Structure 1
Amino acid sequence: MPHSSRHYNPNHEGHKTDHSLQHHHHVPKTIPHDVPGSGGIKVPDGLYVGAGISTAAAGLAPQAVYNGGYTGATDIYIRIANGGAGQSGLIGAWADAFIQYSVGKGHAPFLIAWYLGDTTESLGLIEAGEVDIAVTYNEAAELQSINSGASSKRVYGFRDHFLIVGPKSNPAGLDGSTDTALQMCNKIVSSGNKDVVTPPDPSIRPPTRFLSRYDKSATNIKESQLFITIGQVPWALAYSKWYHQYPQFPLQALKAASVLDEYTLTDRGTLLSSPPSVTSALVIYKAGGDEQPDDILLNPAHVLLGAKKLEAKYTSICDQFMDWVVMKDGGQKVIREFVKNGEVLYSEAPSS
């Protein structure tokens, strides 16, 4: 099994860096059309990103490496696994700010690497000791990582928010002003089943379909929770034909839903990080908020520290990062000021 490396060579194939600190992330190769397991719905050429997209398949090469503006640094002191917040640029913003903070405290410049992985993959990498820190979105899985001894510490990083989005044509008739998230799922199931039996005239409206990331990500787990709560398991054999299985990362999945006129569950960070060509075709029908801590569409992100023993210099800086992330003038300041398309993407962690 390939391992992640502490020494960074920007000329090594597979490694990506961003010397301009604008967080340009690597986009893996594309393959044509759809693939088995995608729910039988044809996907346009180039939309399905499937080659080299997982950290395991990429030989554990980082998706991006950040230097805080210190171009002479060569050693990776912190390896962070995450999906959506990495794609939005937040992990890079945290990395650069923490490096600058540490250098200001007298530490020599160093690098922080981001490894692309959903919640399940990120927790797997931390258990294997291939990353030092994971930013994840599923409480049950995080607590299991702590209880099993794979992770030694867990802190609240920030709040993201799930969104139910879909086409402007709204074939399922969702009512954002009165429907709850569960009622919307019921409508999607009912309308999707009807459209399978009697397909609508495509010149009038598209059929009701729901795009699932179907990848064990926190988004996939949340979507599954919503459907199970209303007594539905559309992914079970024989799977519901309106249920589109599309196992990709957040930005790619949202683009597919936009192109294909499908409903999907996404998050605010992903939506605001997507271009107008994607978002202009979508409507937000329901959004999570911070007002109710038990909001079913609230998407809390926690930062986990791996328990694997490291060299003292790495252990020290990782411990300091965990403390800095929750500081009001540290990681939380980055959260408050992290803006895309004129809007703040995430909310600070709640005060304990």
Structure 2
Amino acid sequence: MAPFDIIEPRIDSTEATPFSANNGACPRTANKPPLSGASIYDGGYSHARERGVRVRIANGTAGQIGLVRAWADSFIQYMVNKGEAPFQVAWYLGDSTASLALLASGTVDMALTYVPSAELQLMESGAASRRVYAFRDRFALVGPHCNPAALEEQDSVYSMFTKIVNAGNADVECPPDPDVRPATRFLSRCDKSATNIKESQIFLAIGQLPWGHDYSRWYHQFIRFPREALRAAAALSEYTLIDYGAWLSAPPCVRAGMRVYKIGSDAADDVLLNPAHLLYRGATSKAPDNEDGALSTAFYEWIVDPAAGMQVTLGFSKAGQTMYSNPPPSKD
């Protein structure tokens, strides 16, 4: 298989070309679908449309796999039981960078994101008034069963990435017989998501910059959301980094072709910890509270209430496994 072309820094097309597992081709200008509208949840009350959307939240993976919907429906039912008229909650799909931008612009009331440094910058800018540690997720390094980079269980994540780099470079210089094994490649979403930022931090920590000029031919840039990227990595026998929730929610036929080589823990110093924080716009110097402020505030507080939303979060499961754990005692 010929090396993949790099995706140019400037992408003129905003329309994503579907990935075809039949030929393994990945378009040169592949891009995420543009943000257009949102998914609307009503808690099972069909007449909630009469009142319309009253709360807006942005997020990526947790929304894709159903946690945001579980939150929204449970919260609406909770509020109706307290006497509130039925209403709708809107979820806007966006990775952490896009979700923070939606929050800063006032498009959404809150954002669930996974990049603490960027979140703190947004708080400092005055575009958000509150931030809380919502739950702990983890990243996982996954790849093909044939394991062309010869990763071993006792390897650290840094050693694993180093092996992928070395094996990838060697396979570029001397391509393996495809009938024996696939070449070593790493799939990056290359999209400014929390996952992309995390993998970049790991590559930088081992002194590598595979996306820089002259870029590494084993570094496959595929700009899609997690579940689409995982399907591509599975079809092409590539390693990739993914949040564990997205891995567990992937179709069995996708996971069957891959295995987990390293997964994060809940330890604060684990490089593969994926901390989820909820940021609330609310009333700030840059964002006066809107007419739905009371409901938005109630939703924000309900999500992190141990007797309410946290029960939904901790009980959320895929493939028979719970996906998230409690946040640690925290001052933020």
TM-score normalized with structure 2 length: 0.89
From 11, 17, 23, give the equivalent of 1:31.
17
User: Aligned runs of 1:11-22 on 2, under 5 Å?
Assistant: none
Partner of 2:102: 125
Q: 5+ residue gaps in structure 2? A: 1-13
Conservation of the 8 A alpha-carbon contact between 1:84 and 1:270 = yes
Partner of 2:81: 104
Partner of 1:344: 322
Aligned-residue Cα RMSD (Å) equals 1.9
In the TM superposition, residue 30 of structure 1 has moved relative to its aligned partner by: 5.9
3-state DSSP of counterpart to 1:156: strand
Partner of 1:25: none
The whole-number CA distance in structure 2 between the counterparts of 1:257 and 1:287 is: 17
From 285, 293, 299, give the equivalent of 1:321.
299
1:207-244 Cα deviation digits (max 9, x unpaired) = 00000000000000000000000000000011100000
From 145, 149, 152, give the equivalent of 2:122.
145
Letter in 1 for 2:319: N
Partner of 1:172: 149
Conservation of the 8 A alpha-carbon contact between 1:288 and 1:298 = yes
Residue 299 (1) aligns with residue 274 (2): yes
The whole-number CA distance in structure 1 between the counterparts of 2:30 and 2:47 is: 33
Conservation of the 8 A alpha-carbon contact between 2:19 and 2:232 = no
User: Aligned runs of 1:51-200 on 2, under 5 Å?
Assistant: 53-55=33-35, 58=36, 61-62=37-38, 64-74=39-49, 75-176=52-153, 178-200=154-176
Residue 281 (1) aligns with residue 233 (2): no
In the TM superposition, residue 257 of structure 1 has moved relative to its aligned partner by: 0.5
Conservation of the 8 A alpha-carbon contact between 2:26 and 2:222 = no
3-state DSSP of counterpart to 1:72: helix
In the TM superposition, residue 267 of structure 1 has moved relative to its aligned partner by: 1.0
Residue 311 (1) aligns with residue 290 (2): yes
1:148-181 Cα deviation digits (max 9, x unpaired) = 01111101111110000000000000012x1010
Q: 5+ residue gaps in structure 1? A: 1-27, 35-41
Distance change >3 Å, CA 263–CA 85, structure 1 → 2: same
The whole-number CA distance in structure 1 between the counterparts of 2:166 and 2:30 is: 30
The whole-number CA distance in structure 2 between the counterparts of 1:215 and 1:228 is: 17
| Segments of 4+ moved more than 3 angstroms | 42-46, 48-51
The whole-number CA distance in structure 1 between the counterparts of 2:295 and 2:239 is: 42
Conservation of the 8 A alpha-carbon contact between 2:133 and 2:277 = yes
1:82-101 Cα deviation digits (max 9, x unpaired) = 11000110010011111111
3-state DSSP of counterpart to 1:196: helix
The whole-number CA distance in structure 2 between the counterparts of 1:226 and 1:281 is: 25
The whole-number CA distance in structure 1 between the counterparts of 2:47 and 2:162 is: 55
Conservation of the 8 A alpha-carbon contact between 1:80 and 1:134 = yes
Across the two proteins, how many residue pairs are aligned to each other? 308
